[in-house]
Amino acid sequence: MSEPRLTLQFTVNGSEQIIEVSPTRRLLDILRSDLNLTGPKEGCSIGRCGACSVLVDGQSTPACLLLACQLQGRSVQTIEGLRDEPVFERVSAALVNAGALQCGYCTPGIASTLTAALRNNPTATAQELEQALYGNLCRCTGYTGLRQAVAELART
């Protein structure tokens, strides 16, 4: 059983990576297991919960759905690579101030998605930001704090 291998060249958090992988290895496993970037979390493995959201070429994408063979030449950013960005700083401060998290397992995905939405549209309305989050599930909070954080981000 010799598996085909792929030489994958792509960018992760700004640094060039060249790795030998199975073409069907999921981006989520490459990040979490191979590159030790455990910020993105696994919640459903089928693109439904948003806990694994990362930015691929600037768009929020479930890392559980992308395979190595789809990543050639692309640029991936995880929450680890977003932390120093001013937009992310605003996002995380808004989440903290609004009490928008409890267990926090959904939070990396939510923070990444919000960062992408605001980066792509700095004047996004609360409604637009909420729509960006419809793929991000949270089981703990009831979303009230999240909605407050979104309102805050749309205002400032």
The residues that touch ligand FES, with contacts defined as CB under 6 A, are 42-45, 47-52, 62, 64, 101-106, 138-141
* Options 12-20, 67-75, 89-97, 118-126: segment touching other proteins (CB under 8 A): 89-97
Distance of CA 144 to the CA centre of its chain: 21
- In the list ligand FES, other proteins, none, the entry touching 97 (Cβ below 5 to 8 angstroms by class) is other proteins
Q: How far is the CB of 78 from ligand FES (least distance, A)?
A: 13
Q: Which long-range contacts (CB under 8 A, 24 or more apart) does 42-47 make?
A: 43/105, 43/106, 43/137, 47/135
Q: How far is the CB of 64 from ligand FES (least distance, A)?
A: 3
84: left (phi over 0), alpha (psi -120 to 50) or beta: alpha
Q: Give the binding-site size for other proteins (rule: CB under 8 A).
A: 48
User: Quick count: other Cβ atoms within 10 Å of Cβ 80?
Assistant: 18
Using CB under 8 A, pick the residue from 42, 75, 90, 151 that binds other proteins: 42
User: Quick count: other Cβ atoms within 10 Å of Cβ 97?
Assistant: 12
Using CB under 8 A, pick the residue from 17, 67, 130, 151 that binds other proteins: 130
For the record, the structure tokens of 140 come out as 């703990």
Amino acid at 101: L
Q: Rule CB under 8 A: which residues touch other proteins?
A: 32-33, 36, 38-39, 41-46, 48-49, 51, 78-80, 83, 92-93, 95-97, 99, 101-108, 111, 130, 133-134, 136-147
